[in-house]
Amino acid sequence: MNYLCLTGLARENGTISEDILRGAFSATEEGFLSLVRRTCMIKPLIAAVGSCCLVGVIWKGTLYVANLGDSRAVLGSVGRSNKMVAEQLTRDHNASMEEVRQELRSLHPDDSHVVVMKHGVWRVKGIIQVSRSIGDAYLKRPEFSLDPSFPRFQLPEPLRRPVLRADPSICTRVLQPNDKFIIFASDGLWEHMTNQEAVEIVHNNPRAGIARRLLKSALNVAARKREMRYDDLTKVEKGVRRFFHDDITVVVTFIDHEMLEKKIFVPEVSIRGFIDAVGPSSFNF
């Protein structure tokens, strides 16, 4: 997500709202598609670059979470009998979900191939699992269609209208004293643990290094599924690791209510991802 875009819109309007979040997503999408338009003649595969996007903002005691794709935000709260409760704040935009397939079919009634089962997995146009993303221009605009020299991204028929969307689903929630933390993570984490398991790991361990602990727990499960040891999995080359587990990104945000109530100033923090060559597996947002 374009952090500067979001903070700029917030400052311009003096607040955060669902409309401002939607505007930030729209500006990020249009900015990236402009980049695709400028560079696709030199690097045509940029039209196949895409990313899920998950954003969380706390503004005056209200939590806003906006999501595209199948990354997930999960809130950890203290419930009855002092037990931790996991609450999923986002909706997974993934063709594996029946409701997502129904949504796609209803939006494209004249396209019998809008969702296709391929290699045991439901995919949009038989290619991609997510139904919403930033980028993936070749599935949104005919001008960005890729030629047959890239068979992986070939559509069964010419694109008539976008099959992927870039408008986020948004959850708004007034934070309560029993809300303790939020886990933001890509689908690679959730493939190997439930929401409840993740919440209990965070609750039962020190804050320092907690995102790494979640990551390692997921990788241990991935290793066991392949009848491997964790140490052996970590030695697998990067180009091959994708066959063992998906990419995993984790951020855990703790909710310190005393700081919120006292309105203690917290400096803005933005962490920029790595910069890599443009290609189907590199995301530079």
What's phi and psi for 94, nearest 5 deg? -135, 135
From residue 85, alpha-carbon distances to 74, 169, 202 in Å are 10, 22, 12
pLDDT recorded at residue 243: 59
pTM more than 0.85: no
pLDDT recorded at residue 285: 25
In sequence order, the β-bridge partners of residue 148 are none
Distance CA 233, CA 241 (A): 8
pLDDT by residue, tens only, the chain of 285 residues: 555 455 665 666 667 899 999 999 999 999 999 999 999 999 999 999 999 999 999 988 899 999 999 999 999 999 888 899 999 999 999 999 999 999 999 999 999 889 999 989 999 999 999 999 999 999 999 999 998 889 889 888 888 889 999 999 999 999 999 999 999 999 989 999 999 999 999 999 999 999 999 988 988 888 787 767 766 667 666 765 665 566 788 999 999 876 656 655 554 444 444 333 333 333 222
- Of 163, 159, 145, 152, residue with least CA distance to 44: 145
- Of 68, 98, 236, 261, residue with least CA distance to 167: 68
Q: What is the DSSP string of 50-107?
A: EE-EEEEEEETTEEEEEEESS-EEEEEEE-GGG-EEEEE-S---BTTSHHHHHHHHHH
pLDDT recorded at residue 189: 93
pLDDT recorded at residue 83: 92
Instruction: Determine contact, residues 25/53, Cβ cutoff 8 Å.
Output: yes
Distance CA 72, CA 101 (A): 19
Distance CA 277, CA 285 (A): 13
Distance CA 99, CA 103 (A): 6
From residue 73, alpha-carbon distances to 132, 187, 248 in Å are 16, 10, 14
- DSSP class of residue 149? T
Distance CA 250, CA 161 (A): 34
Instruction: Determine contact, residues 63/173, Cβ cutoff 8 Å.
Output: yes
Instruction: Determine contact, residues 159/131, Cβ cutoff 8 Å.
Output: no
